[in-house]
Structures are given as structure tokens and as C-alpha cells.
A = this chain, B = another copy of it.
């Protein structure tokens, strides 16, 4: 294998693919970057067994200045190779593989020799033969991911909860995540010309990484699903993730349909108040803030205290407050995550009792996005 390429163009794709490459791996070759060069172009591959990312720099890419001298493939230590490429002196670099997988990287007066590995030893990527695919607008998919992954569990004790439950039926896509203390559910109407039906659980970590490669210039992302793999195609990047096995709990019944206390806030204003209160709850062992609603007096107050440091109280600014008096305590970090996921907008909160989960929905389009938080019993 031998080729020359523009370094900036190469680094852009390298950065995308490196997201999948861990610095330590139980399968040592997975700390490597696979490069394979065909007449069509240069394909970079990285994988950590859960996620694999493959991206091609096409032969005719005008920014790449790709000059192909000899096709072939090699695996190089990813992190180290990346550091070298980023520090080379000239815009153009040449990579040449000789016998025994010795690889020479030259640029200007600088010449690196590094030990590569046989590309034939690199694991094959899953074959996804599914022809039918879903197409989702890129910005919407990115939003769905950011709104649901916040509620994913990071505890391996119930692995199924570390994923986002994705179902597709007719033209409805439903994404749900819960760590059993809070839940986030997002609905979406999509085009589904092939009447695809999906019911899968995608690891939250995979979606977080996927969101990072969905750049603003992308219009849409396509989605193909097989029994145990999902393939997202975003521009020239193919993003593979394994699926989680098992059945996701029934979450529909968790979301209350009635309420006795209702309050509307501007999300940013409430977020700032919760952030202040959490300064004290974080200093305390149980990390709890307390909200007291008094609809009769049109008063809403947030409290928190740390026996060691002190306490805080703040009258909350709300848009409207109706229903019964309520005194409820909860983990402010769940509330902060939830509020941030709405952006700057008005939100409605609905409560039934101090011990029952409460919901947050956007004041507009409330049917498509709901966050649920379980309170903490403090008495």
C-alpha cells in the first residue's frame, strides 16, 4: 500500500473514526486504525466491538489530493499514529507499507517508521444486508438522542436500562429511556414507505457517540436494523452498533394521565433556581431539594439544606399555578437534565402527590415529549 493525501482532510475523517477506538482493548488489534486503499478511495475503520465506524475518503474528493500508488491495507496503532499525523510539518503526507507491515509516514524532511499489523487479522464488520431503511432528518435524530440518553441508566446491574428503547410502527417512532428513577419519552412522525416494524434497544453510549458525528451540514441519517445490529449512515460515515438483548420493561403505564397540581415555568428560569438550590443539596449526603407549591397564595418556593454548610430558599417565578397544595422532594440533578433537554421554552409540570412520579412536558407540542421524575420520600 502506498498513497499521498492532504493531512487536514485525512485528520477530519480520522477524528470521526477514532471515536470508536478505545486506547485500551481486550482485543489488542482494536486499539488500531484500519486503513484500506482501493481504486475508489481510502477507507478508515475503527471499532471497540460495541461500536464500529467506517468512513471513506473518495478518490475524487477535491480536498483530499489523494494519490494512489499501490492499493492494500494495514492496521496502525490509532492514538500514536493520530498524534504523528497531527504534528507532521507539511500539508501533504505519504504513507507506504513495506514488508512485515513496517509503515513509513513521510512529510517534508520528517520520516516516521512504525510497526503495523496485518489488516487480515482485523475483525470483520457486521454484514447488514437489510435493503429497507428509514430516513430521519439529521437535526431531529440528534435532538431525539439528546432528549432520551439523559435518562439512560449507567449501572450495569440492569443492562437493558443502559439502552434507549426504539420502536417503529406505521409512521410513529417512539424512543424511551429510563433508569427507574426518571424516564424520558419522545415521539416522532416519520416516513415509513416500506412499513418497517422495529422494536430494539440501542446502547445509550452508542447513541451519544453517534450524535457527535451528526454534523450540521448533514440533511438526513438512514437507519438499517438487523437482528442484533443497527447501521446508521450519515454522509460518508457508516456507524454500526450492537443492539442490547432482552425485553424492555413496559413504560407506557408508568406515565400518569391525571394530575392534581399543575404549574408552568419558563424552563431556563426554573433551571437557574434548581442549579442554585443544588449547590447546597450537593454538599449534603442525600442530594435532595424540596419544592412547595401553594396555589391559594400563588406561591412556589424551592428549598435545600446541608447540615454542615447552611440552607437556601428561593421564591420561584412561574407562569401559572393551579390545583392543590403540594410539598415534594426530589434529586435536583434529574430535574436539571430534564430542564436542559427542553431548551429555552415554557414547560408544564404535573403532580399528583408527594410520593408519585411527576411529569414535565413542553407547553407546546406536549404530546410528543415527556420527562418523568420519581420523587424522594423524606419523611
The interface of chain A, by Cβ under 8 A from chain B, is: 77, 80, 83-84, 87-89, 102-103, 109-115, 272-273, 275-276, 279-280, 283, 308-317
Cβ-defined contact, B115 with A80, below 8 A: no
- Min Cβ gap A28→B in Å is 12
Cβ-defined contact, B279 with A312, below 8 A: no
Interface of A is mostly: mixed
Taken together as a complex, chains A and B put the C-alpha atoms of A114 and B310 apart, in Å, by 4
Cβ-defined contact, B276 with A80, below 8 A: no
Cβ-defined contact, B87 with A279, below 8 A: yes
- Min Cβ gap A335→B in Å is 15
Quick one: given A87-B276, A279-B84, are A109 and B309 in contact (CB under 8 Å)?
A: no
- Min Cβ gap A285→B in Å is 15
- Min Cβ gap A291→B in Å is 14
Query: Can you name 16 A-B residue pairings with CB atoms under 8 Å?
Result: A77-B309, A80-B279, A84-B276, A84-B279, A87-B275, A87-B276, A87-B279, A89-B276, A110-B273, A110-B276, A111-B313, A111-B314, A112-B312, A113-B310, A115-B308, A115-B310
- Min Cβ gap A208→B in Å is 27
A111: B residues at CB distance < 8 A? 312-314
Taken together as a complex, chains A and B put the C-alpha atoms of A122 and B311 apart, in Å, by 24
Quick one: given A87-B276, A88-B276, are A110 and B314 in contact (CB under 8 Å)?
A: yes
Most buried by B among A112, A113, A279: A112
* With A111-B312, A113-B311, A113-B312 already in contact, 13 other A-B pairs whose C-beta atoms are closer than 8 Å: A80-B283, A84-B276, A84-B279, A87-B272, A87-B276, A87-B279, A103-B310, A109-B315, A109-B317, A111-B314, A112-B310, A112-B311, A114-B310
- Min Cβ gap A62→B in Å is 28
Taken together as a complex, chains A and B put the C-alpha atoms of A118 and B241 apart, in Å, by 59
